């Protein structure tokens, strides 16, 4: 029984790490600009397709495709910010919601038109192999994914804490007017923040491609999980998104084993609601806005 518990815990943590990175891109954009991107899941879907086509056309390993997909989505983030987010910054919240929801519908249906409704998955040579540690088996695909997630999370943390631009992002998140008065280029901060947020999405899509099948409506699944993780950890809190993702991964793994895999979504929503009843700001949320 102990071995089973350890196996479930390992599976939950490895999956939760992917959920964490997925949510970090979303919470970064919200924490700085206070705009909720309802097209987040569809961007994940596009990143999964990008990794899949790189694997099919160039034979590129999905984890090496991060080196292409992440910069590509950083550039996509700059375009997204300039064409959609920037005009909406001073708009009413309902306009922001409708715009990003509309974009999500457009992207999902464009993917359906261009790629069809078939399911695709990247199968690297080591897809069915695993690492055995005291009878606890860690699949190489999820293990590599978790390693990539930890490296990206660490790099993002150091960037936010140590670099001038990272400190400018945090200052803008706390008070954009005061940051501008101190010489911070707020528009540049917004561009970089959106680029970083979608770069995280690009990495997420690449590491998901050998673990989950990609199809046009898969974004709804990962978008929903990202929102749960972000609110659970505290809106705009990167550390909260990371640990919130691990928590959701564990809840999903244990509920799927002890109850029914079909009920795992219900279970983590129940946990989510119970936590918010006790702490409405989320596990790591506070009354002071802070990104990092």
Q: Which helix (H) or strand (E) holds 138?
A: strand 136-139
* Cα distance between residue 259 and residue 266, in whole Å: 11
Q: Give me the pLDDT at residue 284, please.
A: 74
pLDDT tens figures, 191-208: 999 999 999 999 999 999
Mean pLDDT, residues 223-248 taken together? 86
Give me the domains of the chain, ranges plus CATH numbers.
2-278 (1.10.3470)
Q: Do residues 209 and 232 lie in contact, with contact meaning Cβ atoms separated by under 8 Å? A: no
**Residue 200 confidence (pLDDT):** 92
What's residue 177's pLDDT? 87
Q: How confident is the model at residue 111 (pLDDT cuts 50, 70, 90)?
A: very high
Angstrom distance (rounded) from CA 223 to CA 14:
19
What is the rounded CA–CA span in Å between residue 29 and residue 198? 9
Which runs of consecutive H residues, i.e. helices, occur in 81-182? Answer: 86-88, 93-115, 140-162, 164-174, 176-181
Give the other-Cβ count within 10 Å of 211's Cβ.
19
Instruction: Examine the pLDDT at 285 and tell me if it is beyond 80.
Output: no
Q: CB of 72 within 8 A of CB of 50?
A: yes
**Gap between the Cα atoms of 223 and 100, Å rounded:** 12
Could you give the CA distance from residue 207 to residue 51 in angstroms, rounded to a whole number? Answer: 9
Which residue matches tokens 């190489």? Answer: 140
Whether the per-residue pLDDT at 288 is higher than 60: the answer is no
Band (pLDDT 50/70/90 cuts) for residue 97 is confident
pLDDT tens profile 125-143: 887 888 888 788 888 888 8
Count the neighbouring beta carbons within 10 Å of the beta carbon of residue 64: 15
Instruction: Name the pLDDT band for 292 (thresholds 50, 70, 90).
Output: low
Least confident of 22-31, 133-142, 244-253: 133-142
Does 74 have pLDDT greater than 90?
yes
- The larger pLDDT score, comparing residue 214 to residue 292, is at 214
Tell me the average pLDDT across 47-60. Answer: 93
The pLDDT, as a whole number, for residue 204 is 93
Q: Indicate the average pLDDT of the chain.
A: 87
User: Does the pLDDT value for residue 231 go beyond 90?
Assistant: no
User: Picking from 25-29, 95-99, 134-138, 176-180, which range would have the lowest pLDDT averaged per residue?
Assistant: 134-138
Give the integer Cα–Cα distance in Å for 214 and 216.
Answer: 7
Residues contacting residue 198 through CB under 8 Å, at least 6 positions apart:
25, 43, 73, 74, 76, 77, 80
Residue 192 backbone zone (phi > 0: left; psi -120 to 50: alpha; other: beta): alpha
pLDDT for residue 269: 81
- The whole-number average pLDDT for the span 204-227 is 90
What's the CA gap between 186 and 266, in Å, rounded?
A: 40
């Amino acid at each position: 029984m102990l071995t089973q518990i350890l196996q479930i815990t390992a599976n939950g943590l490895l999956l939760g790490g992917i959920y964490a990175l997925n949510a970090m891109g979303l919470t970064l954009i919200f924490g700085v600009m206070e705009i909720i991107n309802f097209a987040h899941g569809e961007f994940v879907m596009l990143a999964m397709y990008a990794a899949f086509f790189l694997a099919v056309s160039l034979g590129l390993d999905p984890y090496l495709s991060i080196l292409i997909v992440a910069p590509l989505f950083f550039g996509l983030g700059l375009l997204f910010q300039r064409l959609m987010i920037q005009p909406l910054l001073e708009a009413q919240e309902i306009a922001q919601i409708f715009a990003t929801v509309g974009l999500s519908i457009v992207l999902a249906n464009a993917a359906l038109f261009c790629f069809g409704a078939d399911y695709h998955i990247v199968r690297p040579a080591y897809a069915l192999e695993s690492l055995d540690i005291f009878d606890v088996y860690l699949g190489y695909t999820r293990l590599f994914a978790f390693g990539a997630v930890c490296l990206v999370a660490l790099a993002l943390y150091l960037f936010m804490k140590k670099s001038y631009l990272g400190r400018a992002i945090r200052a803008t998140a706390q008070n954009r007017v005061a940051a501008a008065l101190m010489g911070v280029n707020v528009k540049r901060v917004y561009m970089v923040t959106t680029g970083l947020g979608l770069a995280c999405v690009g990495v997420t899509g690449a590491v998901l491609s050998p673990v989950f099948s990609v199809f046009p409506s898969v974004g709804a699944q990962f978008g929903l999980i990202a929102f749960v993780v972000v609110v659970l950890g505290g809106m705009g809190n990167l550390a909260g998104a990371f640990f919130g993702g691990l928590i959701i991964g564990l809840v999903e793994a244990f509920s799927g084993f002890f109850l029914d895999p079909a009920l795992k979504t219900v279970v983590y929503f129940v946990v989510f609601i119970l936590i918010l009843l006790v702490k409405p700001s989320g596990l790591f949320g506070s009354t002071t806005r802070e990104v990092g």
